[in-house]
Amino acid sequence: MTDAPLLEVRALEKHYPVRSGLLRRVTDHVEAVDGVSFDVREGETVGLVGESGCGKSTTATTLLGLEDPTGGEVRFDGEPIADLAGDDRDRFRRRAQIVFQDHNSAFDPRLTVGESVAEPLAIHGLADAERRREIVADTLERVGLSAGDADRYPREFSGGQKQRIALARALVLDPDLLVVDEPVSALDVSVQAEILSLLSDLRDDLGLAMVLVSHDLGVVRQICDRVCVMYLGEVVERGPTAALFDDPRHPYTEALLSAIPEPDPDAVDDTVELTGDVPDPSNPPAGCSFHPRCHRVIAPEAFDLARGAFRSVFDLRLAVERGDVAVDEYDDSAAVRDEFGVPDRLGDDDAEQVLAAAVEAVAAGRIDDAADRLAAFESVCEREDPALEPVEGDADGAGGGNSGDGNGDGERPVACLRTDESVER
Amino acid sequence: MSDPLLSVRDLRVRFETDDGVVRAVDGVDFDVREGETVCLVGESGSGKTVACESITRLLPDSAAIDGEIRFDGTDLADCSASDLGSYRGGRIGHVFQNPQDALDPVYTVGQQVVEAIRIHRDVSKATAREEAVALLDRVGIGEAEARFDDYPHQFSGGMKQRVVVAMALAPDPDLLIADEPTTALDVTIQRQVLDLLADLGAERGMALLFVTHDLGVVAEIADRVVVMYAGEVMESAGVHALFDDPAHPYTRALLACLPGRGDPFETIGGSIPDPTDPPDGCRFHPRCPHAVEDCETGDHPAPRSAGSVTGTDHEVACLLYDDDHALPRELEVADD
């Protein structure tokens, strides 16, 4: 194994235009992928994980050039793929393969499995039909099917088997890089285990570099060497799988981990509650895009508040700012506190004084007044957009000099203001 | 103990297909008590969905349903289609896997919840609207009043599933049947919907029959678990007994390949049998590591208590647990 990564993704961006009005003018952009960087070496699997809409699938298709990036660079074997043309481009297309999520729509129902799997060979110039048949038979056996399955049709196979066929079709050209998008999300747990163990065997036998896209951290834990956690188009934390699972640094990673159902009915419920959905990517929140849902949102330095208490006050503040609070919605202050789970009395007297006045204003229907008062609870997370940076004091044995876009094996950068010393609170 | 709310006995569902007769459910027994959460677990093709949908006859006409489905004293299997109407979507609510398919795209979500209320109860539109807003608020739709007039496409997947839950709750059901309600959702949203269902069950004393293939979800939500395989019940037990002392080799295999428990790359091997031609004897025997000769012949083993250690409510359908066979050492329950 050489030291140079096979795939280098640097500050990759994919912004989609939003058109509106009669002339379909571009009025806005959806930043589906916004500055994603990572490396993949030979024989290594990197996981992209996050909720629906975080841009993980777009990252996968964009890094393969299936969609043109609007910014950043992808290098494959040292060459920027945007510069590839002619034979070089064909060669890249052969060496980098993708398996899509939905195995039901991945096959032409009128082609036999053998024809489907052989198609990439024909496209890439293998004219000898006999030779194609041989390669297809070998590949099918490699993924745990039999050579005789080549003459059957996709509908005759179960979901797990179709996923194997999809893998065979991706492997038939003997690629160096394999991108797999949600390989097991549509499968039973028992079949998931089979597909994941097949993927890991293939990676080890063929020395494949793999990018695995999944919303399920349980799946990622099983086969990835390193993980990039994505939220709203950005990587919020990156690191080796074991380290990231043992000690998640970003609150979002923590929340994702705690959402995995624990297969033990006696387990203590230590769930980090992640409220709400992923925000609209065309209108992401200012500052740290996770702040509306974050359970560790930073309280202003002026106040000394417990984490949960501040979160509830902050929820009230956000609701008032957004205009989600109606003028005549609450009868009295207690009802307001109850609705947002704000404690009857905050530990910090100064904070309590400001809050009490604000809550009273909400109850009395003076929303603007309440908003002005609650401005005292503005969090730094609303203002500052954290960069993905290594944590201070973490340099020993980590990536060292090439911070920011480096991918040293032990490196664990995180995009969170709590660990960012440079930010003024 | 009082009679269970729902008692299913010897349920059999057959489909005539071009390839032969499919016995999707073949002699299944289970109970759901008031306020209890029972999970039906199994792989795709185990018959868990068909078993659930036969309770209120949601199946196509080609399905032949036999057996007894006693709900609060009435045998639903004997009910006329019109009588069944008051149970279906009334005292028995349904939530399905894909919220996208459960909502009509051309009506607002508010109209759909109001409809669910007014189908079963004679209330004015204004009252129904108030109730609908309260329901939407209860299932966690923020600003329910404002979102009442939004269309399903304006909601995310998790929010749509909350709307579907609100519709199912509208007639205040005694039993909610939820078929893989979180499978199409992200893990974070799955967590929210599971918490919501558990809270609602406790708050309303509503029983929940929950279908899933994911034992992780089972551990989160179930009081009792019924493990199905190829149309038959393999094991049923309280959730703690099932996870602490799984008896059936199939249950053990399922647990062994569960992420976060056992070996992540452990697999069961083989696949679920052809439904038109299931194996004789125990249907799991071709994949079972402990199978003996007797497992290959005769009928599906009768359920028997899985030993005194785990209590009387723990039943397993496996020959190895009867007196004529020696229990392999690996299957012995630790006596502690």
On whether residue A329 sits in a domain, the answer given is yes
Q: Which of A378, A396, A411 is the last residue of a domain?
A: A378
In 10 A of CB A70, how many CB atoms?
17
Residue A362, SS3 per DSSP? helix
Cα dihedral A245/A246/A248/A254 (nearest 10) = 70
Instruction: Determine the pLDDT at residue A281.
Output: 78
Residue B76, SS3 per DSSP? helix
Looking at residue A72, the DSSP 8-state letter turns out to be: E
The sign one gets for the Cα dihedral B173, B174, B179, B180 is positive
The answer, yes or no, to whether residue B163 has pLDDT greater than 90, is: yes
A314: phi > 0 → left, psi -120 to 50 → alpha, else beta; which? Answer: alpha
B137 and B214 co-located in one domain: yes
Give the mutation candidate from B43, B150, B187 for the A interface (greatest A CB count, under 10 A): B187
Diameter of chain B measured on Cα atoms? 67
B129 and B94 co-located in one domain: yes
**pLDDT tens per residue, range B54-93:** 999 998 888 999 999 999 989 998 888 888 888 988 899 9
B166 and B237 co-located in one domain: no
Q: What is the ipTM of this complex?
A: 0.76
Angle at which helices A367-374 and A349-363 cross, to 10°:
160
- The CATH number of residue A68's host domain is 3.40.50.300
Instruction: Determine the pLDDT at residue A330.
Output: 80
Contact B207, B175 (CB under 8 A): yes
B209: phi > 0 → left, psi -120 to 50 → alpha, else beta; which? Answer: beta
Q: Which residues does B contribute to its contact with A (CB < 8 Å)?
A: 43-44, 142-143, 145, 156-159, 186-192, 194, 213-217, 219-220, 222, 239-240, 243, 253-255, 257-261, 264-268, 271
Angle at which helices A307-322 and A333-340 cross, to 10°:
110
Residue in the structure block whose two tokens are 């849902």: A293
Whether residue A191 and residue B191 make contact (CB cut-off 8 A), yes or no, is: no
| Amino acid in position A206 | L
Percentage, residues of chain B above pLDDT 90? 48
Mean pLDDT of B242-267: 82
A243 and A337 co-located in one domain: no
Residue in the structure block whose two tokens are 């070996």: B263
Q: Which residue of B has its CA nearest to A323?
A: B143
Q: Which residues, in sequence order, are bridge partners of residue B177?
A: B94, B209
A248 and A321 co-located in one domain: no
Looking at residue B95, the DSSP 8-state letter turns out to be: E
Of B25, B94, B48, nearest in space to B227 by CA? B48
In 10 A of CB B148, how many CB atoms?
18
| Amino acid in position B87 | Y
Residue A330, SS3 per DSSP? coil
A38 and A117 co-located in one domain: yes
Whether residue A274 and residue B191 make contact (CB cut-off 8 A), yes or no, is: yes
Q: Which residues contact B125 (CB under 8 A, 6 or more apart)?
A: B114, B118
In whole angstroms, give the CA distance from residue A408 to residue A411: 5
**pLDDT tens per residue, range A88-132:** 999 999 999 999 888 888 899 999 999 999 999 999 988 899 999
Whether residue A256 and residue B222 make contact (CB cut-off 8 A), yes or no, is: no
Contact B72, B56 (CB under 8 A): no
Size of interface A-B (CB pairs under 8 A): 114
A68 and A137 co-located in one domain: yes
In 10 A of CB A47, how many CB atoms?
26
Q: Which residues does A contribute to its contact with B (CB < 8 Å)?
A: 51-52, 158-160, 188-191, 193-194, 196-197, 200, 215-219, 221-222, 255-256, 258-267, 271, 274-278, 324, 326
Whether residue B219 and residue A215 make contact (CB cut-off 8 A), yes or no, is: no
Q: Which residue of B has its CA nearest to A201?
A: B265
Contact B249, B265 (CB under 8 A): no
Instruction: Determine the pLDDT at residue B99.
Output: 86
Residue in the structure block whose two tokens are 């390193």: A226
In whole angstroms, give the CA distance from residue A231 to residue A179: 20
Element (H, E) at B197: helix B187-204
Q: Which residues, in sequence order, are bridge partners of residue A33?
A: A14
The mean pLDDT value of chain B amounts to 88
Instruction: Determine the pLDDT at residue A403.
Output: 41
Instruction: Determine the pLDDT at residue A69.
Output: 93
A117 and A242 co-located in one domain: yes
How many domains, chain A? 2
More confident residue, B173 or A328: B173
Query: For residue A74, what are the domain limits?
Result: 7-253
On whether residue B336 sits in a domain, the answer given is no
Instruction: Determine the pLDDT at residue A424.
Output: 56
A243 and A349 co-located in one domain: no
Contact A264, B243 (CB under 8 A): yes
A32 and A153 co-located in one domain: yes
B51 and B169 co-located in one domain: yes
- Exposure string for B181-202, b = 16+ CB within 10 A, e = fewer: bbbbbbbbbbbbbbbbbeebbe
Q: Which of B178, B207, B226 is the last residue of a domain?
A: B226
Partners of B182 on chain A (C-beta within 8 Å) are none
Partners of A261 on chain B (C-beta within 8 Å) are 187, 190-191, 194, 214, 216-217, 219-220
> Which of A200, A256, A265 lies closest to B188 in CB terms?
A256
Pairing of strands A96-99, A177-181: parallel
A129 and A247 co-located in one domain: yes
pLDDT in tens, chain A (425 residues): 457 899 999 999 999 988 888 788 888 888 889 999 999 999 999 999 998 888 899 999 999 999 999 999 999 999 999 999 899 999 999 999 999 888 888 899 999 999 999 999 999 988 899 999 999 999 999 999 999 999 999 998 888 899 999 999 999 999 999 999 988 887 887 788 889 989 999 999 999 999 999 988 888 988 999 999 999 999 999 999 999 999 999 999 999 888 888 888 887 766 777 777 778 777 888 999 999 999 899 988 888 888 888 988 998 998 888 877 777 778 888 888 888 888 888 888 888 989 999 998 888 888 888 899 999 999 999 988 898 888 866 654 444 444 444 455 568 899 999 887 666 55
- The CATH number of residue B113's host domain is 3.40.50.300
Distance from CA of B274 to the nearest CA of A (A): 11
In whole angstroms, give the CA distance from residue B83 to residue B74: 11
B185 and B314 co-located in one domain: no
**pLDDT tens per residue, range A8-58:** 999 999 999 888 887 888 888 888 899 999 999 999 999 999 988 888 999
> pLDDT band at residue B231, thresholds of 50, 70 and 90?
very high
Q: What is the 3-state secondary structure (H, E, C) of B135-163?
A: HHHHCCCCCHHHHCCCCHHHCCHHHHHHH
On whether residue A411 sits in a domain, the answer given is no
As given in the structure block, the two tokens for residue B202 are 């406790």
Contact B216, A261 (CB under 8 A): yes
Instruction: Determine the pLDDT at residue A408.
Output: 54
Number of residues assigned to chain A: 425
On whether residue A419 sits in a domain, the answer given is no
More confident residue, B160 or B187: B160
Pairing of strands A25-40, A7-20: antiparallel
In whole angstroms, give the CA distance from residue A172 to residue A319: 54
Please compute, for residue A124, the number of CA atoms within 13 A of its CA located in the half-sphere on the CB side: 23
> Which of B215, B220, B259 lies closest to A222 in CB terms?
B259
On whether residue B130 sits in a domain, the answer given is yes
Partners of B258 on chain A (C-beta within 8 Å) are 189, 263
Query: For residue B295, what are the domain limits?
Result: 230-331
Instruction: Determine the pLDDT at residue A405.
Output: 46
B263 and B157 co-located in one domain: no
| Amino acid in position A191 | V
Helix and strand totals (H; E) in chain A? 14, 10
Whether residue A256 and residue B257 make contact (CB cut-off 8 A), yes or no, is: no
Instruction: Determine the pLDDT at residue A327.
Output: 74
> Which of A216, A266, A277 lies closest to B156 in CB terms?
A277
Distance from CA of A161 to the nearest CA of B (A): 10
Whether residue A263 and residue B215 make contact (CB cut-off 8 A), yes or no, is: yes
On whether residue A394 sits in a domain, the answer given is no
Mean pLDDT of B40-51: 90
Q: For chain B, how are helix, strand and coil distributed in percent, rounded to 5? A: 35, 20, 45
On whether residue A292 sits in a domain, the answer given is no
Whether residue A277 and residue B258 make contact (CB cut-off 8 A), yes or no, is: no
Of B38, B5, B54, nearest in space to B227 by CA? B38
As given in the structure block, the two tokens for residue B295 are 């497992």
How many domains, chain B? 2
B197 and B262 co-located in one domain: no
Of B249, B186, B246, B182, nearest in space to B214 by CA? B182
Q: Which residue of A has its CA nearest to B213?
A: A188
Contact A179, A56 (CB under 8 A): no
